[in-house]
């Protein structure tokens, strides 16, 4: 038996047989064409664009296609007819005398490689979409009709080098329940589709393609990100039992849909969800969530060839507000800096971007980028219950600058006779220690607050959460972090300012009772953690508050860890033993 570990893209457990899947390699013609052949290659390119659009339209009109998948696939049409890309393709054919296949291969590969060079995980979100469009075009140019030549059995587990959204769709249509991929991103459209369609998946497994052989018996553990190859009898029996428990657990969790999100003592805990793209609205539609506590707007900017216009953003925010109305939607202004906007911005690369010009700082320094976003959100606010939240606020003065910017945008819209909500709430993220230490003044100034625990832990402990070498220092339950949270809770209560937690701690079964015991009454969780969070909320009782009431900056860490590992275990729901 061998055990490998990677990144879980979707939770769940599946046992089956491995099968290696490789996409057909279209022929890429090299060398130079004759000048008189330029028009022929342009015609080939244009015909391939039409063919791929027809292919996408067929998928969109398929009765078996879920709405969320339709939105993801339709986004590929934007790439297909991106004017900047088309300009580069024509230039390669007309000026470099490249064949159409080489023009497509080079142009898209340059974009994808640029994402990889930046080493920023968020740029990987759309890289697979570009690769998908590239393969569609090359297949059309080469006469390859299908990207999946295999007819798979339902108990098979495809093993791939990489996966694209259209292939996820085809796997689901064939009844596949799990797959393994050598390279992938949790936030990619392929991963979002996998979660929406219920495919258990693990990515970034070292030496996956070399280690796993066809017909190996595989256990895919989407909870831990573990992969067991040809497991021994004891491991196999254990996971068969887990699979049955998983089935029973999911049935019980579904029964929570109509129940109240209240503790055992009757305290109301508001449960919202975090989403990063509109596609996830389909995923959360069956949840009994009370709104969106965090809508990340970065997808509008990342991986694009051009900055999104006010009108493009308005369309997205309007749809979000309309679909969620009358439930609240908290839109976070984009949490980016010059490092992540490199393809779109002339900003210089910073030596330490995490401590540099990013978040609200970058927004205020670039009104040409910030104004269209704020105006678009304001315009969308008349279609639902919209709130604006600013990232990386350090104190009340910082918030006042952002608020003033919004007020200026409101005045512009008023002069232009454009409607917007006059009472749109404005809030700040508490994700920098200074913001927590200044939380009393912020609670007095802001309409609401939200604790972003991911960055709060990172900045408090000076431990990059993406750096494996300092993983042991990234301690979410460190007393200093808990003290900052508790101080923020106290400040919010003093001014009756709504306070939520939207970071990973809110979605983690280990920390949910801890946060509730410290006085948090609003959690914004990842969609996949919603039912677990709700089941834990319902188990919290008076004993929990007695256990957590004295946690502070000076609490020894061994006491916190004892509390989490021993005493609070009684509040965990449906844990994997």
In angstroms, the CA 261 to CA 270 distance is 7
In angstroms, the CA 224 to CA 233 distance is 20
Q: Which two tokens stand for residue 402?
A: 């952002």
The catalytic residue among 409, 438, 446, 502 is 502
Task: Choose among 442, 455, 564: nearest CA to 503.
Answer: 455
Residues pairing with 294 in the sheet:
274
Phi/psi for 175 (5° steps) reads: 85, 15
502: annotated active-site residue? yes
In angstroms, the CA 420 to CA 157 distance is 50
In angstroms, the CA 12 to CA 457 distance is 28
State the number of CA atoms in the 13 A half-sphere of 310 facing the CB: 15
Task: Choose among 171, 173, 200, 172: nearest CA to 10.
Answer: 200
540: annotated active-site residue? no
Task: Give the 3-state secondary structure of residue 326.
Answer: coil
Phi/psi for 279 (5° steps) reads: -55, -30
Asked if 300 and 312 count as a contact pair (C-beta separation under 8 A), the reply is yes
One-character DSSP codes across 150-203: ----TTEEEEES---HHHHHHHHHTT--EEEESS--TTSHHHHHHHHHT-EEEE
At CA 552, angle to CA 547 and CA 553, rounded to 5? 150
Query: CA dist 87 to 80, 83, 94, 103, 342, Å?
Result: 12, 6, 10, 11, 20
In angstroms, the CA 436 to CA 438 distance is 5
The catalytic residue among 98, 189, 477, 478 is 189
The catalytic site residues sit at: 189, 502
């Amino acid at each position: 038996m061998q055990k490998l570990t990677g990144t879980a893209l979707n939770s769940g457990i599946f046992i089956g047989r491995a099968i290696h899947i490789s996409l057909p390699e279209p022929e890429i013609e090299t060398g130079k064409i004759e000048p008189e052949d330029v028009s022929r290659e342009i015609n080939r390119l244009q015909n391939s664009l039409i063919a791929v659009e027809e292919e996408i339209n067929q998928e969109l009109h398929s009765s078996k296609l879920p709405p969320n998948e339709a939105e993801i696939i339709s986004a590929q049409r934007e790439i297909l007819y991106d004017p900047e890309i088309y300009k580069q393709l024509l230039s390669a054919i007309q000026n470099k005398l490249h064949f159409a296949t080489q023009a497509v291969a080079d142009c898209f590969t340059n974009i994808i490689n640029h994402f990889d060079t930046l080493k920023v995980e968020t740029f990987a979100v759309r890289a697979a979409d570009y690769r998908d469009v590239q393969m569609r075009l090359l297949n059309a140019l080469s006469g390859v009709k299908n990207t999946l030549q295999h007819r798979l059995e339902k108990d098979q587990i495809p093993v791939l080098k990489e996966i694209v959204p259209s292939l996820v769709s085809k796997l689901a249509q064939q009844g596949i329940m799990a797959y393994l991929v050598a390279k992938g991103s949790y936030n990619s459209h392929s991963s979002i589709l996998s979660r929406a369609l219920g495919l258990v998946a693990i990515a970034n497994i070292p030496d996956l393609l070399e280690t796993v052989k066809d017909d190996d018996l595989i256990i895919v553990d989407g909870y831990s990100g573990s992969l067991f190859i040809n497991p021994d009898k004891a491991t196999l029996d254990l996971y068969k039992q887990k699979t049955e428990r998983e089935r029973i657990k999911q049935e019980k969790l579904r029964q929570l849909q109509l129940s109240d999100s209240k503790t055992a003592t009757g305290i109301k805990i508001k449960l919202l969800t975090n989403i990063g793209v509109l596609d996830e609205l389909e995923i959360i539609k069956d949840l009994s969530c009370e709104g969106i506590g965090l809508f990340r707007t970065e997808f509008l900017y990342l991986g694009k060839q051009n900055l999104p216009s006010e009108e493009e953003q308005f369309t997205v925010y309007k749809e979000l507000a309309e679909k969620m109305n009358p439930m609240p939607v908290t839109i976070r202004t984009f949490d980016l800096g010059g490092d992540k906007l490199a393809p779109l911005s002339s900003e210089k690369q910073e030596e330490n971007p995490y401590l540099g010009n990013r978040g609200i700082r970058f927004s205020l320094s670039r009104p040409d980028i910030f104004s269209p976003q704020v105006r678009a959100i304001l315009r969308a606010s008349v279609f639902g219950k919209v709130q604006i939240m600013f990232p990386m606020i350090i104190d009340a003065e910082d918030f006042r600058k952002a608020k003033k910017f919004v007020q200026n945008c409101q005045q512009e819209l008023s002069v232009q006779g454009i409607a917007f909500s006059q009472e749109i709430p404005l809030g700040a993220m508490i994700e920098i220690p200074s913001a927590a230490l200044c939380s009393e003044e912020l609670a007095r100034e802001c309409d609401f607050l939200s604790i972003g625990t991911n960055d709060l832990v990172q900045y408090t402990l000076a431990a990059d959460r993406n750096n494996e070498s300092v993983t042991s220092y990234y301690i979410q339950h460190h007393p200093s972090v808990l003290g900052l949270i508790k101080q923020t809770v106290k400040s919010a209560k003093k001014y009756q300012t709504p306070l939520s937690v939207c970071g990973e701690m809110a979605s983690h079964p280990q920390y949910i009772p801890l946060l509730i015991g410290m006085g948090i009454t609003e959690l914004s969780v990842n969609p996949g953690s919603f039912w677990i969070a709700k089941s834990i909320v319902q188990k919290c009782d008076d004993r929990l508050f007695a256990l957590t009431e004295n946690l502070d900056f000076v609490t020894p860490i061994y006491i916190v860890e004892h509390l989490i590992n021993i005493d609070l275990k009684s509040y965990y729901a449906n844990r994997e033993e």
